[in-house]
Copies of this chain bind each other. A is one copy, B any other.
Amino acid sequence: MAANTQDVIMLFGDSLTQGGWEPLGFAQRLASAYVRKLDVINRGLSGYQTDWAIPVLEQIIAKQHEQHHVPTVQLLTIWYGANDAAPLPSPQHVPRDQFKANLIHLVDMVKSPTSAYYSPHTRIILITPPPVNTHQWPGRDFDQTRLYAEAVKEAGHQTGVPIADVWTEIWEAAGRDERACEEFLSDGLHLNAAGYEIVFNSIMKIVADKYPEIHHEKLQTIFVPWSEVNVDDPRSSLAKRPTIVWLG
């Protein structure tokens, strides 16, 4: 059984999150940057949208009375919209207003002191879906996805949660040209390594600006670097340490 040794970064979302474990995906990059400091937990569910995300989140984060047994989620990314924006009659479709309300509900589950899942130490980042290249993926609508990316930003502003605006960053990097988005998309909907690099950098910029105490460069390893092991009495130097070092 695994003891509760490291706190975690939880990545919650759809296939864009699930695919984050690919080589050079954003989960892999985060896991590499945070090795020995925070574990990365991928809770990406391909094809899911926010109506379905709510009952899932209720099962993947702990209620208040369970929290002392489990790792703290130091950072939670919430990344939906790519499927919510699917046009009707797709069962994935969620109306834009409902999508925005669902995002706010997901945030409030963690942030609201009256929520059973209230977790005051969990920092949240909302991520916008990337632009869709309908030349590559005809089943989506370019402007529809843009409007859902806008809804993520509105939900972020309304809840005070910072936004990794992947839609705009990729759109600008592609010179505001839908076809040129293929540089960042493997199939018109999902990201390739260049796309995930934008996601990773955007997350790390927010962490540096808003949540600097959990930047990987500010954390210490749970177990000391090997050069600091007391060779004459190893056990004395090998006690687990907190990774977050509060400097005041």
- Chain A residues in the interface with B (C-beta under 8 A): 1-6, 8, 10, 18, 21-24, 27-28, 31-32, 35-36, 39, 41-48, 51-52, 55-56, 59-62, 66-67, 69-73, 83, 91-92, 119, 122, 223, 225-227, 229, 231, 234-235, 238-240
Contacts and interface: CB of A to CB of B under 8 A. Distances in A.
A52 B1 contact: no
Contacts of A42: 31, 35-36, 39
Nearest to A228: B47
26 contacts: A1-B61, A1-B73, A1-B119, A2-B8, A2-B10, A2-B70, A2-B71, A2-B72, A3-B59, A3-B60, A3-B66, A4-B62, A5-B60, A18-B35, A21-B35, A23-B23, A36-B42, A39-B41, A46-B225, A46-B226, A47-B226, A55-B234, A59-B239, A69-B69, A69-B70, A91-B229
A122 B47 contact: no
A24 B21 contact: no
Nearest to A69: B69
A51 B240 CA distance: 16
Nearest to A91: B231
A203 B4 CA distance: 25
A18 B36 contact: yes
A116 to B, nearest CB: 12
A6 B239 CA distance: 27
A42 to B, nearest CB: 6
Given A2-B73, A46-B226, A227-B47, A31 B35 contact: no
A134 B169 CA distance: 46
A238 B32 contact: no
Contact of A62 (B3, B22, B36): B3
Nearest to A32: B21
Contacts of A56: 223, 238
Contacts of A45: 36, 223, 226
Contact of A226 (B3, B60, B92): B92
A3 B61 contact: yes
Given A61-B1, A62-B1, A21 B10 contact: no
